[in-house]
A = this chain, B = another copy of it.
Amino acid sequence: MATPETYTHETAPTQYVDVNGVPFAYRTFGKADGLPLIFLQHFTGTMDNWDPLVTNGLAQNHRVVLFDQAGVGNSGGQTPTTVAQMTRDAYDFIRALGFEKVDLLGFSLGNFIAQQLVLDHPGLARRLVLAGGAPAGQGAEEFKYVTSNLGGKSPKDILLYLFFADTASSQQQGEAFVQRLQRRTTDRDTPSTPQVFQAQYQAIVNWCTTPEPSLDRLAEIKQPALVVQGNNDTMFPTRQSVLLFEKLPNAQLSLYPDSSHGSLFQHARLFVEQVSYFLQAED
């Protein structure tokens, strides 16, 4: 049987694992030994929405695991409407693959799930990469506002609008990112349906309006965490990552220039470099 080293973002076959009776689609590639690095995806994203520069870059030193949540892409089932349920599913998926300890990389909605995973299962994760997110209970206004402006936009224009800053340089980087998403040409995911949009929308708004003392619970997250965001995130404002950094007991913050929600893709090489260094640091 082929090992993860054989594959890349472009060539890893989509596989399936049963999670409580639902087939979950996943792909894995990269270094076979060491802790797996579980990628937790953003609002409406499938495995095909990860940037190959990021996944292949991190696969140099880690076993990368991408997957679709219930109802998303090629996975079966219906998308749940709460971060809590997505977190239970993510945990069961990780355990179904036989992993007992992992590193987590969550972006946006996936960032929320990563936080909740560590709160619910303190022993599961060694280190956390928390990109483009916010602590629970922080205002949903910006998210509601930007997602109200998507009507009539093409999928490409939606990515450019939501993920990249309103500058010529950022938009140019956005065009390159969108092209990179097409590097995988076969065995691609099914695009997300309106049910995914609606259910995840509800889950995100619920997360953002969680009543206190959710913020205080961040003190329970003892793992080293690398918090990453653009300097001008229009979806989940940058100040919320500063807050996340301040409330986590062992966090490091990186804010990138000229960038919005998709700063980890716009600055993919820098992001890979920082994450690699962070994950390989001594405990």
Contact A231 B245 (CB under 8 A): yes
Chain B residue with the shortest CB-CB distance to A225: B257
Contacts A242-B242, A257-B224; A251 near B273 (Cβ below 8 A)? no
- Does A281 sit at the interface, judged by CB under 8 A? yes
Q: How far is the CA of A274 from the CA of B256 in the complex (A)?
A: 13
Q: Given contacts A246-B231, A256-B252, are A277 and B273 in contact (CB under 8 A)?
A: yes
Cα A273 to Cα B254 with chains together (Å): 14
CA distance in complex: A231, B270 (Å): 21
Set of chain B residues within 8 Å of A281, measured between Cβ atoms = 270
Mask of A246-278 contacts with B, CB within 8 angstroms, 1/0: 100011111111100000000000100110010
Residues of B within 8 A of A253 (CB): 231, 253-255
Is there an interface contact between B254 and A231, defined as CB atoms closer than 8 Å? no
B residues less than 8 Å from A274 (CB atoms): 274, 277
Could you tell me the distance between the alpha carbons of A250 and B224 in the complex, rounded to whole angstroms?
A: 27
Partner of A250, one of B252, B255, B258, B270: B258
A46, B251: Cα distance in complex, Å: 31
Residues in B with CB closer than 8 Å to A251 are 231, 257
Q: Which residues of B contact A254 (CB under 8 A)?
A: 252-254
Interface centre among A246, A252, A273, A281 (most CB of B within 10 A): A252
- Inter-chain contacts of A270 with B (CB < 8 A): 252, 277, 281
Bound-complex Cα distance A86 to B258 (A): 32
Closest residue of chain B to A227, judged by CB? Answer: B255
The interface residues of chain B lying within 8 Å CB-to-CB of A258 are 250
Rounded to whole Å, the gap between the CB of A131 and the closest CB of chain B is 15
Give me the interface of A with B, judged by CB distance under 8 Å: 224, 231, 242, 245-246, 250-258, 270, 273-274, 277, 281
Provide 23 A-B residue pairs closer than 8 Å at the C-beta atoms, listed in order of the A residue. A224-B257, A231-B245, A231-B246, A231-B251, A231-B253, A242-B242, A245-B255, A250-B257, A250-B258, A251-B257, A252-B254, A252-B255, A252-B256, A252-B257, A252-B270, A253-B253, A253-B254, A253-B255, A254-B254, A270-B281, A273-B277, A274-B274, A274-B277
